[in-house]
Structure 1
Amino acid sequence: MSEFANEKIERIINEGYDFRMGDYISQGFNTVQKNLGGFILYALAMFVILAVVNFIPIIGALLNQFILGPALTVGAYLVANKIRKGESTEFSDFFKGFDYVRPLALTALGIFVVTMLAMLPFVFLGGGMELFSWYMEAMQDPMGMQGTVPDFGFSILSFLLLLPAVYLGVAYSWAYKFVVFYDMSFWDAMEASRKVITKKWFMIFIFMIIIGIIASLGILLLCVGILFTFPAYLCMNFSAFADVTRLDEEGDAMDEIERHLVD
C-alpha cells in the first residue's frame, strides 16, 4: 500500500464522510445499464461456474468461498470502475479478479476465521450449535438444504452473542476492494474496511439490507431477474466504496492496478 493511500484512508477515518445511499443505488443501476449484456453474461457465467464446482464434495465449497467467489466478485468491481472512469470494457475484464487470487484468498480466509471466532460464544452458549451444523451441511449440499430451516432456540442472549459476528460481517464487506484498489495486504484491507465502515456502520448495515433485498427481487421474476439485480447489487456496493474512499483522488493506488493488469 502506498503512503498516499494510507494517509488518505486515515484522513477519511478521522474526518468522517457523507453516505449518500440513494445515489449509490441509482449509480449501481446506471452502471449495469451501460454494459447490460456483459453484466448479464457475467452473472450467468458466475452462477454456472459456482454451481458446477459446488458439486465437488467439501472441496467445491472451499474453492467457491475462498478462491472462485472472491475473484469473480472482484471482476465486477473492476468492470464497474472502468465504466465509472469512462473507459471501454471487454468481457474478459470480468475475470481479471483472478489476477489477485492469492491476496483475495487470504482475505476471504481471514474474514472467515475472525468471524467464526466471533461466533464461538453464540455457538456454545447461545444455542447456535444447531445453526452451525446446518450451515456446514448447507456448504456441502446447498441444493439439498433448500427450504430447510435450522431448529434452534433463539433468545435475547443468543441475539446479543451473535452481534459481534454481524458487526464484523458488515465491517469487512469492503475488504476485497481495499485489496484490489489500494494494493493492501489482507489484514490491512480487513482493518481499513472495518475502520472506515464503523464510522457509519448502522447506515451501511441498512444499505446492505436494502441492496440485498433488491438483489433477491430478481428471484421473483422466474429467477431470471437475478442476472440483472445481482450485478446491480455489486455495482451499488462498489459505488458506495468508490465515493466514501475518494477513489478519484490523484495519487491513489489505481496506478498499481493498471501496472498489475498490464503485466
Structure 2
Amino acid sequence: MNNTSLPDAGTCLRDGWLLYKQEPLLLSGATILMAVICGVVGLIPFAGALVYPPLLAGLYSMIIRLERGEAITITNLFDGFQAFVPLVIASLLMSVFISIGLLLLVLPGLYLIIVYGFTNLMIVDQKMDFWPAMEASRKLLHAHFWSYFVLAFVLAVICVAASIPFGLGIIVAGPVCLAAQYRFYHAVTVAGDASRL
C-alpha cells in the first residue's frame, strides 16, 4: 500500500474520536483506573514497569473490541495480563534500545520510538511474542515512517497539551489518541503489509 492511500492525522483523530464516543465513560473510566493503579504501584521500585505495559495493552484491547463491534466492560482493562511476559519483555527491550539510540546522537533513539510504535498492538491483536512483534512493528513502520511520524507528533502534542493542568485532559485525550493510533495500524495491516513481514 502506498503512503498516499493511508489516512492522515486528521482522519485518524476523527475516527478515534468517533470510536471513543461509542463508550466514553468506560474508556475514560479505564484510563482513570489505569492512572490510579500505576500511581500506587509506582511507589514500589520497578513495579511500574511490570504493570504499565499490560494495562496499556488492556486499553488497546478495549479499543480493538469496540472497533470490531464487540461489547466491552471495565474488566477488559486487564486483558493485557494474558500476554504479561511478552509485553513486559518488549517494553524493557524497547526502553534499552531507545535509550542507547538516544545516547547515539539522539536521532537513532527517535527513529526507534517511531518504528516500535505498534509493538503492543502486534502482541495484543496478533498474539505475537515480544521479538516477532518488535520486528513486525519495525518493518511495518519503517515502510510508512513519515506518515506515522506526522501522526505520532500530532498525538504527542495533543497529549502534552491535555496534561495541562493536572493531567485532566488525558482522561479523554488518552483513549482518543490510542484509538487514532489504532486507526492507522488497522489501515496498514488490513492491506496485507503485516502478512508479508
TM beyond 0.5: yes
Q: Which runs of 5+ in 1 are unaligned?
A: 1-14, 122-160, 253-263
Residue of structure 2 equivalent to 1:54: 42
The structure-2 alpha-carbon separation of the partners of 1:29 and 1:221, relative to structure 1 and needing over 3 Å to count, comes to farther
Structure 2 CA distance for partners of 1:117 and 1:225, relative to 1, 3 Å: closer
The CA RMSD measured in Å over matched residues stands at: 1.9
Structure 1's 41 and 191: CA in aligned 2 closer, same or farther, altered over 3 A? same
Instruction: Give the Cα separation in 1 of the matches to 2:74 and 2:42.
Output: 24
Partner of 2:78: 95
1:33: which partner in 2?
Answer: 21
Which residue pairs with 1:20 in the alignment? 7
Kept after mapping to 2: 8 A contact 1:170/1:201: yes
Q: Which aligned pairs between 1:237-256 and structure 2 lie closer than 5 A?
A: 237-246=181-190
Whole-Å separation in 1 of the counterparts to 2:167 and 2:134: 33
Paired AA for residue 203 in structure 1: S
Give the drift of 1:97.
0.9
What's the TM-score once normalised by structure 1's chain length?
A: 0.67
Tell whether the 8 Å contact from 1:76 to 1:235 is kept in structure 2 after alignment: no
Which amino acid in structure 2 is aligned with residue 43 of structure 1? Answer: T
Q: 1:226 to 1:116 in 2, by over 3 A?
A: closer
Q: In structure 2, what is the Cα distance between the partners aligned to 1:36 and 1:162? A: 37
C-alpha distance in 2 between matches for 1:216 and 1:230 = 10
| Alpha-carbon distance, 1:221 to partner | 5.8
Unaligned runs of 5+ in 2: none
How far apart are the structure 2 equivalents of 1:20 and 1:186?
A: 27
Q: Tell me how far apart the structure 1 counterparts of residues 166 and 103 of structure 2 sit (CA, whole Å).
A: 38
Question: Which residue of the partner structure matches residue 119 of structure 1?
Answer: 102
- Which residue matches 1:107? 90
- Matched AA of 1:87: E
Provide TM-score, normalisation by structure 2. Answer: 0.89
**Conserved in 2, the CA contact under 8 Å of 1:71 and 1:101?**
yes
* Residue in 1 that maps onto 2:169: 225
> Highest CA radius of gyration, 1 or 2?
1
Moved over 6 A (4+): none
SS in structure 2 opposite 1:192? Answer: helix
